[in-house]
Amino acid sequence: MEELLKTYFSAQDLDENAASLQQALQLIREWLFVDKRHAYPPDDFESLKKAFNTPAMPQDGSAFPAVLDALQQQVFAHSVPVNHPKYIGHMTQALPWVSVLVESFIATLNQNQVKIETAYSSTLIEKQVLGWMHRQIYRFDDAFYRDSFESNESTLGNMVNGGTMGNLTALSVALESQMPGLRKKGFLTLLREKDYTGFAVIASARVHYSVKKSLATLGLGEDALCVIPTDENNRIRLDVLEERIAELKQRKVKILALIGVAGTTETGSIDPLEELGRIAQREDIWFHVDAAWGGALLLAEKYRDMFHGVEMADSVVIDGHKLFWVTMAQGMVLFKSDKSLNHLLHTANYIIRKSSGDLGRTSLEGSRRFDALKLWFSFKLFGLKGYEALLDRCQALAANMRELVMDDPDFELITCSDTFILTYRYAPRELQARLKDSVRTGDRENAVRCNETLNRLNTALQDEQKRRGLSFVSRTLLESTPYPGQTTVLRVVLTNMLTTQEDLKEILAEQKEIGAGL
């Protein structure tokens, strides 16, 4: 066993396993490029559990070829082929093949971003990428970014593993900014000192669920989230927001943050950021923008008007593993002020020492991967013009899907956003006509009955489509429709570079065939 272990730490072992490495490369190639029959695993998940229900760990190690075979048979064969051209249900999509290489570079270097002593050039790469993205949002002059890059006393943001950690970091900074001393004294002491009756964070009904998780983690509790309804375009209602702010202030509830969503995960909608920014400035509260989904569109000038007002945000979250087409997991949280993250400043004697410039001094996480390399490599490879072309391709695909849905009287388009997410439903024309007529005439009882019928129909349709596994779309529930109660909708994310208009036609044809048979 000792000799076996030694081989895996020897460069010579790479040569000796050349044939297995070629097999591994072929496995990667087939997964990325071979057109698979199924867009979703045909396995029954409950039955599949039994194959992985071995309580004991392996006692003896195995040779590399044997483990590779197990990987192919047990993992690859039962994984979701997110790169399939008919997999358009979620934000995880086909990636360029170079992303696999970048992952291998990250693993090879194995840098730990917590400290310069374990992350030399990678510390500078991370600061550079954060500066590039900060400039796309806030557009300060070049001198500001040069000074920030050179400084050991400030930072523009953190690389994080996704929107959840990004939102948690932003809200942690917001709390200390709005309630200085909170980190040391705690909520109870400050409530007594300030004579507040409670705390609140305000966001629309489309805000990501990670915000509730963050508030629970921070000790505020999920109930601290003050949810504002959305309009028919799934954007926060400013009239209700103003009423709720006045009510909270009258009750002596301290409003810690106002969150604008720039690309909701359900419908892709973007809140009126400029109006929210003005309200936040007027009320002297932290303005956070969750652009985990839509923020990548800031790379292209033609899409910038959709984000008008984002430059007013105190903090912004953007995910790289969404519309930057890099592997899971990669995200960023950026702050308008290069001093904001000092609210989280912490040090230790053996690591992240004062004035060291170590990135771990202002991160909620400790050890972190060199995930900034994913974006650095992609920016170098594609450039802004390349990303604009990718985004234009998504826009064209979304327009194709919208037209196909609207041209078929047995489907109903529910929402359509500029960030490539559509919701729609299968609605046979006769039933659809009865529902709309009931809404128009005020026959609520019949409208509820028709809408519930359509809800059951689309739930069953999506379940059957997933069971077949030939194509995949997701579903969700929306309350912001003209219909009474919640509406079950099919949801598609049109960012798969392998998807064609013909694929979209075939997906809708399959849904229509399933729906007609239910």
What are the two backbone dihedrals, phi and then psi, of residue 488, each rounded to the nearest 5 degrees?
-80, 125
Whether 59 is in a domain gets the answer no
The confidence score (pLDDT) of residue 303 equals 96
Together in a domain, 247 and 326: yes
- pTM here is 0.95
Question: How far apart are the C-alpha atoms of 206 and 194, rounded to whole Å?
Answer: 31
487 - beta bridge partners? 478
Q: Are 109 and 336 in contact (CB under 8 A)?
A: no
Task: Give the end of a domain, one of 317, 344, 371.
Answer: 344
Together in a domain, 299 and 437: no
Together in a domain, 167 and 252: yes
Question: How far apart are the C-alpha atoms of 434 and 439, rounded to whole Å?
Answer: 9
Whether 183 is in a domain gets the answer yes
Q: Are 409 and 426 in contact (CB under 8 A)?
A: no
Together in a domain, 288 and 337: yes
The confidence score (pLDDT) of residue 358 equals 86
The confidence score (pLDDT) of residue 11 equals 73
Question: How far apart are the C-alpha atoms of 440 and 448, rounded to whole Å?
Answer: 13
CATH code at position 307? 3.40.640.10
Whether 139 is in a domain gets the answer no
201 - beta bridge partners? 225, 257
Together in a domain, 338 and 442: no
Whether 509 is in a domain gets the answer yes
* Closest alpha carbon to 246 in 258, 259, 255: 255
Together in a domain, 321 and 467: no
The confidence score (pLDDT) of residue 21 equals 86
Q: What's the Rg (C-alpha) of the chain?
A: 25
Together in a domain, 238 and 185: yes
The confidence score (pLDDT) of residue 349 equals 63
* 3-state helix/strand/coil string of 218-280: CCCCHHHEEEECECCCCCECHHHHHHHHHHHHHCCEEEEEEEEEECCCCCCCECCHHHHHHHH
Together in a domain, 329 and 185: yes
The number of angstroms, rounded, from the C-alpha of 11 to the middle of its chain's C-alpha atoms is 38
The confidence score (pLDDT) of residue 351 equals 60
Question: How far apart are the C-alpha atoms of 360 and 350, rounded to whole Å?
Answer: 12
Together in a domain, 291 and 431: no
Reading the block at residue 49, the tokens are 């559990």
Strands (E), 327-461: 331-335, 411-416, 421-426
pLDDT tens digits, 408-420: 999 999 999 989 9
Question: How far apart are the C-alpha atoms of 402 and 404, rounded to whole Å?
Answer: 6
Task: Specify the 3-state DSSP secondary structure of 177.
Answer: helix
pLDDT tens digits, 459-513: 999 999 999 999 999 999 999 999 999 999 999 999 999 999 999 999 999 999 9
Together in a domain, 171 and 282: yes
Q: Which amino acid is at 286?
A: W
Task: Give the end of a domain, one of 295, 314, 344.
Answer: 344
Buried b / exposed e along 31-44 (16+ C-beta atoms within 10 A): ebeeeeebbbbeee
The confidence score (pLDDT) of residue 7 equals 67
CB atoms within 10 A of CB 64: 18
Whether 205 is in a domain gets the answer yes
DSSP secondary structure string for all residues of 187-204: HHHHHHHHT-SEEEEEEE
Q: Are 290 and 261 in contact (CB under 8 A)?
A: yes
What are the two backbone dihedrals, phi and then psi, of residue 183, each rounded to the nearest 5 degrees?
-60, -35
- Give the total number of structural domains in the chain: 2
Together in a domain, 281 and 181: yes
CATH code at position 406? 3.90.1150.170
Task: Give the end of a domain, one of 284, 315, 344.
Answer: 344
Whether 335 is in a domain gets the answer yes
For the chain, residues with pLDDT lower than 50 are none
Whether 153 is in a domain gets the answer no
Whether 18 is in a domain gets the answer no
Reading the block at residue 501, the tokens are 């208009």
- Residue range of the domain that includes 268: 159-344
Together in a domain, 303 and 164: yes
CA torsion through residues 182, 213, 92, 490, sign:
negative
